[in-house]
Chains A and B, each alone.
Chain A
Amino acid sequence: MKKKVIIVCCLALLFWNKATATTLRMAFDADPISLDPHEQLSEGTLQFSHLVFDPLLRWKQNGQFEHRLATKWERIDNLTMRFHLRHNVTFRTGNPFTAKDVIYTIERLKKSPDFRAMFDTIKSASMVDEYTVDVHSTYTNPLLLNIMTYVFPMDKAFYQNQDQIIKYGETFASRNVSGTGPFILTERELGSRMELKRNPNYWDTNSDGNIDKVILTPIRADSTRLAALLSGDVDFIFPVSPIDIERTKKIKGIQLVTLHSTRILLLHMNQQRRKEFQDIRVRKAINLAVNQSLIVDKILKGYAIPAGQLSPDRFLGHINNLEPEYDLTTALELMKEAGYEKGFRISMMAPNNRYMNDEKVAQAITAMLSRINITVDLKTLPKAQYFKEFDNRSADMMMLGWQSDTMDSNNLFEFIIACPDAKTGMGAYNASEYCRSYIDDDIRQANREMNPERRLRLMQQIERTLYNDAAIVPLYWQSLTWAAKDNVKIQDIVNDQNYPHIGDLFIEE
C-alpha cells in the first residue's frame, strides 16, 4: 500500500513537473526602447522583432538565408523580385497574414527615419495575389535580399490609421503590438522587465523550441549580469565581458558560446585637422606602431580578431592575406623620413561605454603611439557625449565601431570611407576626412553590380586601396559571447548579428 502511494506521488510529481511551463529568464544589456519595430534601428529593437514578429527571411549561422514567412523567392527581372508567402499564418489578433501586410510594412519602413536609408533603394511593392508580392527596386540591387531580412510583416488591420512613428512621444505602435512571431507580449515595464508567452497558434510547428514563457531583464553592468547567471537568477545572458570569460568557463553547469561578429573597430586620423596625417608615411607608421594582436590578446583576452582591413571574412570584400602588421623599427624610420623624428602631439577621443573595453583599448593605443614619439592627449567620454563630438570631428584621432546593416562591405565603405557629403549621407562617419573620388565611383558601381564576380573585384579593390593608402587604422572585429546554463541549448540559435532566435530555443528538463 505504502509503495503504491509513493509511486503515485512520484508520478504526480513527474507530471506536475511536465505540466509546469518552461520559462527562460534572460538578461541582456539593453531592452527595446519601443514596441514599434520601425522606431529605431538598433540591436534591442531587432532582437524584440525576432521575438514577436517574423521576418520574410533570415540569416542562418552559416551566412545563408532561411525561409520564414516567405516560402520562395525568384528574380523576375533586373529590378523585380517575387516573394511567395506562407499560407495559414495568423497574427496575434487572429487576423490572417497576407500580401497586404507585407506591402503595408514595406511602405511603413520607407517612412521610418531609421530604416529609410536602407529602403530607399526599394521603389515599391505590389500585390500579385493574396500570397504573392513583387518588390521593385529603384536600380539593380545585388543586396535586395539582405535588405528584405529587415521586413517583419506587421498586422495591417491592427495598425492602420494609427501608425505614426514619433521618436519622442507615445504612439499606438509604441504601446501595442501584433505580429506573427513565436511569442506574445504579456507584460512590460520599460527598462526593467518584459514578459512574453508562447504563441499557441505559431505556424512553425517543426521548430524545436519548447519555451512557454520568456522573462527579459536588462542588466547594464557586466559584473551584475554575470552574478545573476552564477547565482541562478537568470538562465541566459549577453554579453559576457572578455575579462570574465576564463573564469566563467571553469564553472560547472555554465556554457559559453562565442561567435565572431562583423563589427569592426577602427581609428580615424583626421587629415583636415592635422597636416601630419596627410603624409602617407605618418599614416603607415601609425598603422605599424599599433599592435592589434597584442590588444586583442591582452585587453580582449583573445575574444576578437585582429583586423588589417574593414571587411570581416564573411563579407565579399575580404582579402585573405591582408593581416595587421606591427613593426616598430620601420615605423620609426618612416617617421624619420617624414621629418617627424621628434614626433608631435595629437588629441584623441574614444567612448568609454559603447564597445567592449573601449576605454582600455584607447589607453593602450596612446601607449603604443608614444613609442613612435607621438604624444596623445586622450579623452574618453560616455557614448551620449561622444557621438556629438564625433559629429563635430572634435579630435585628431577618433574611435569608431561599425556593424554593416546589410552584411556587406559596401555599407562599411559608404559610411566610413566615402567622401563626406551631407546631402546624400555618404561618408557620414568618415572622421578621417579622407576623400578619393575613384573610391566613391567604385562604391556607387558596386551598389548596382549584379555580377558577384565583378562585385567582389570592385570591393577588394577598395579594400586594397585603403590598405595601401593606410587611410585608417583598423583594429579588430569584436566577438560576441553568450553564456547560459548547460540545459539551455543556445549553441544553435545565436548568430553573429546578435539576434538570437529564441523561438527555436530548446531547454532540457
Chain B
Amino acid sequence: MLIFLLRRVMQACFVMIIISLISFAIQDKLGDPVQQMVGMSVSQDERNQIRNELGLNDGFFLQYWRFAEGAIHGDLGTSYYYKEPALDVILEKLPATLELAFCSILLVILVATPCGVLAAIKPKHILSRLLMIISSIGLSVPIFIVAILMVYIFSIELNMAPSFGRGQTVEIFGLWESGLFTKDGLKHLLLPSLTLAIALMPIFVRLIRAEMMEVLQSEYIRFAWSKGLSARRIYFKHALKNTMLPVITVGGIQAGTLVAYTILTETIFQWPGMGFLFMDAVSRVDTPLVSAYLIVVGGIFVITNTFVDLIYGLVNPTVRLASHGL
C-alpha cells in the first residue's frame, strides 16, 4: 500500500516538474516584459539595463534554476504588474472564479437533472424530443455567441443586469471576498453564470439522459417494476440515485472544460477571476504571473487526480492490485 502511495506521489511530482518547465519555457516568448514597463521614449540601453536587473539576459537554465529554487519555497515569482508575489495575486482572484463556477454548476444541476430525467423516461414525448433538439442547438452555439447575445438582451435592451465586473463584495472571515451576499454582487453574477451554465447544460442533459436510460434497462429496475412500486418511486428514488454517481464521475472529468469555459466567460464579462487574470497577464507579458497560473491550475489537476486515485485505491482493491503490478 505504501509503495502504491509513494509511486503515485512521485508520479505527481514528475508531472509537476514537467508542467513547471513548460510554463517557464513560454515565459520568454510572450513578448518583452520590459517593453510593457517603460514609455516609448526610453532608450534601448536603459531597457537593457532593466533586463539585466531582472536577470532576463541570463541563460535559460540559470533562470529556470532560480525559478525552481523559489518555487520549492512556495515563491512563484513576483508579478511585474501587480508587484506582489504571483501566488498571492492568483489566490486573491480565486474566490471570484470559484463563486462563478459554483453558481453555474448549481444552475446546471437544478435545470439539467429534471430535463435529463424527463428525456430519459419519456423519450418519445414531444417535450423531450424538443428538449433534445434544444440541447443539440445549445451544443452547437459557441459560448462567445451566447455571451454577446446575453449582454445585448439582458444588459442593453432590458437593462436588467450589468454586463461587466463583479459589483460590490463583502469580506467573509477576513479572507474571502464574496459577491454572493450583496444585491449588487448577485446582479453582476447573473449574466456570466447564466452564460457558463448554458454552455454546460446540454452536455449534462445528454449525459443524464443517457445514464438514466441505461439504468432503466437494468435488472433491478425491471424487478422494481414487477414488484409493483410506483413510477415516481422507481424513477426518482432508485433510478436517479444510480444515475447520478456516474454523472458526477464524468462531470468531474469535465472540470477541465469548465476551466477553459471560465477563461472565455471571464474574458468576455471582465469577471475579475483567475481566467481573466490569465488572459490579462498574457497580454501584459506579466510572465511570472502566467507561469504561476499554469502551475497553480496544473497543480490543482494533479492533486485532485492523485487524490481520486488514492481513494479509489483504498476503496477498490482491484485497482490496488493492478497498480502493484505496474
Q: How far is the CA of A383 from the CA of B148 in the complex (A)?
A: 25
In whole Å, how far is B82's beta carbon from the nearest beta carbon of chain A?
A: 6
Kindly identify which residue among A219, A233, A384 contacts B32, using a CB–CB cutoff of 8 Å: A384
Q: Provide the A415-432 mask, 1 if CB < 8 A to any CB of B, else 0.
A: 100000010010011000
Q: Taking A40-B39, A192-B165, A228-B163 as contacts, is the C-beta distance between A385 and B283 under 8 angstroms?
A: no
B34 to chain A, nearest CB (A): 8
A157 contacts B by Cβ under 8 Å: no
Cβ contacts under 8 Å, A221 to chain B = 268, 270
CA distance A224 to B165 in the complex (A): 10
Chain B residues within an 8 Å CB radius of A167: 34, 37-38, 50
Q: Could you tell me if A117 and B42 are in contact, using CB atoms closer than 8 angstroms?
A: yes
Bound complex: CA of A353 vs CA of B159, how far in Å? 30
Once A224-B269, A388-B31 are accepted as A-B contacts, the answer to whether A233 and B163 lie under 8 Å apart by CB is: yes
Residues from chain B with a CB closer than 8 A to the CB of A425 are: 41, 43
Q: CA A428 – CA B47 in complex, angstroms?
A: 12
CB distance from A246 to the nearest CB of B (A): 16
> B283 and A384: CB pair below 8 A?
yes
A42 nearest in chain B by CB position: B39
Query: Closest residue to B96 on the A side, CB-wise?
Result: A192
Q: Report if A220-B270 is in contact (Cβ < 8 Å); known contacts: A228-B164, A231-B162.
A: yes
Cβ contacts under 8 Å, B272 to chain A = 191-192
**Which of B83, B155, B283 is A168 in contact with, Cβ under 8 Å?**
B83
B283: chain A residues at CB < 8 Å are 353, 382, 384
Q: Give the Cβ gap from A261 to chain B, nearest Cβ, in Å.
A: 15
- Indicate whether A405 sits within 8 Å of B32 (C-beta atoms), given known contacts A224-B268, A227-B164, A231-B159: no
How close is A28's CB to chain B, nearest CB, in angstroms?
13
Tell me which residues across on chain B come within 8 A of A429, comparing CB atoms.
40
B84 located at the interface, meaning its Cβ lies under 8 Å from any Cβ of chain A in the complex: yes
Contact B54 A391 (CB under 8 A): no
Chain B residues with CB under 8 A of A466: none
Q: Please determine whether B80 and A168 come into contact, CB atoms closer than 8 angstroms.
A: yes
Residues of B within 8 Å of A405, CB to CB, are 41
Q: Are A40 and B37 in contact (CB under 8 A)?
A: yes
Give the docked Cα–Cα distance between A191 and B90 (Å).
13
Interface set, chain A 221-252, CB cutoff 8 A to B? 221, 223-224, 227-228, 230-233
Instruction: Check: A81 CB closer than 8 A to any chain B CB.
Output: no
Q: Are B163 and A231 closer than 8 Å at their CB atoms?
A: yes
Nearest chain B CB to A35's CB is how many angstroms away?
Answer: 11
* Bound-complex Cα distance A384 to B30 (A): 7
User: Which residues does chain B contribute within 8 Å of A168, judged by CB atoms?
Assistant: 37, 50, 53-54, 78, 80, 83
A163: Cβ under 8 A from any B Cβ: no
- A10 contacts chain B at the CB level, 8 A cutoff: no
Interface range for B:
35 or more
Instruction: Confirm or deny: B36 has a beta carbon within 8 angstroms of a beta carbon on chain A.
Output: yes
CB-defined contacts of B226 to chain A, threshold 8 Å: none
Contacting residues, chain A, for B285 (C-beta < 8 A): 384
A167–B37 CA distance with the chains assembled, in angstroms: 6
Total A-B residue pairs with C-beta atoms closer than 8 Å? 121
Q: Which residues of A are found within 8 Å of B41, using beta-carbon distances?
A: 41, 114, 117-118, 405, 415, 425, 428
Contacts of A174 in B (CB 8 A): 83
Within 8 A of A (CB), among B144-160: 148, 151-152, 155-156, 159
Report Cα–Cα, A257/B54, bound state, in Å: 43
What is the size category of the interface that chain A forms with chain B? 35 or more
The answer to whether A117 and B43 have CB atoms under 8 Å apart is yes
Chain A residue at minimum C-beta to C-beta distance from B80: A168
Name B73-108 residues within 8 Å CB distance of A.
Answer: 78, 80-84
Q: From residue 474 to 492 of chain A, which have CB atoms closer than 8 A to chain B? A: none
Q: Does B280 lie at the interface of the complex (its beta carbon under 8 Å from any beta carbon of A)?
A: yes
Contact of A113 with B38 in the complex, beta carbons under 8 Å? yes
Q: Is the CB of B36 within 8 A of A219?
A: no
Chain A residues numbered 178-233 whose CB sits less than 8 Å from any CB in chain B: 190-193, 217, 219-221, 223-224, 227-228, 230-233
Interface flags, B256-286, vs A, CB<8A=1, else 0 = 0000000000001110100000001001110
- In the bound complex, residues from chain A placing their C-beta under 8 Å from that of B53 are 168
CB distance from B275 to the nearest CB of A (A): 14
Residue B230 at the chain A interface, CB threshold 8 Å: no
| Interface check B219, CB cutoff 8 A | no
Is B164 a contact of A219 with CB atoms below 8 Å?
Answer: yes
The answer on a CB contact under 8 Å between A191 and B81 is yes
Q: Assess the B36–A384 pair: CB atoms within 8 A.
A: yes
Q: Are A233 and B162 in contact (CB under 8 A)?
A: yes
- Give Cα A113 to B50, complex, Å: 10
State whether A233 and B164 are in contact (beta carbons under 8 Å apart), knowing that A227-B155, A382-B31 are contacts in the complex.
Answer: yes
Q: Which residues of B contact A170 (CB under 8 A)?
A: 83-84
Q: Residue of B at shortest CB range from A170? A: B83
State whether B151 touches A114 (Cβ < 8 A). no
Q: Is the CB of B46 within 8 A of A113?
A: yes
CA distance A218 to B6 in the complex (A): 48
Q: Of residues 18 to 73 in A, which have CB atoms within 8 Å of B's CB atoms?
A: 33-34, 40-42
A42 CA / B36 CA spacing, docked (Å): 10
User: Taking each of A217, A220, A391, which has the highest tally of chain B beta carbons within 10 Å of its own beta carbon?
Assistant: A220
Say whether B44 faces chain A, with CB atoms less than 8 Å apart.
yes
- Would you call A387 an interface residue if the criterion is a C-beta within 8 Å of the partner chain's C-beta atoms? yes
* Contact of B35 with A by CB under 8 A: yes
Question: Which residues in B have their C-beta under 8 angstroms from that of A217?
Answer: 164-165
- Tell whether A385 pairs with B39 under 8 Å between CB atoms, given A221-B270, A227-B155: no
Within the complex, the shortest CB–CB distance from B58 to chain A, in Å, comes to 15
Q: Is B171 an interface residue (CB 8 A)?
A: no
Q: Which residue of chain B is the closest to A405 with respect to CB atoms?
A: B41
Residue of A nearest to B177 (CB): A189
Within 8 A of A (CB), among B15-64: 30-32, 34-46, 50, 53-54
Is the CB–CB distance between B32 and A231 below 8 Å?
Answer: no
The residue in chain B whose Cβ has the minimal distance to the Cβ of A191 is B280
Q: Is the CB of B32 within 8 A of A388?
A: yes
CA distance A471 to B45 in the complex (A): 27
Given A167-B38, A169-B78, A385-B30, A224 and B43 contact (CB-CB distance below 8 Å): no
Flag A373-399 by CB within 8 Å of B: 1 or 0 each: 000000000111101100100000000
Taking A113-B50, A231-B156 as given, write out 17 further A-B residue pairs in contact, using a Cβ cutoff of 8 Å, ordered by the A residue number: A41-B42, A42-B39, A114-B39, A168-B37, A168-B78, A190-B82, A192-B272, A219-B270, A223-B148, A224-B151, A224-B164, A228-B162, A228-B163, A233-B163, A384-B283, A387-B32, A428-B44
13 contacts between A and B (CB under 8 A): A41-B41, A113-B50, A167-B34, A191-B81, A192-B272, A217-B165, A224-B270, A227-B164, A383-B31, A384-B31, A384-B35, A388-B35, A422-B43
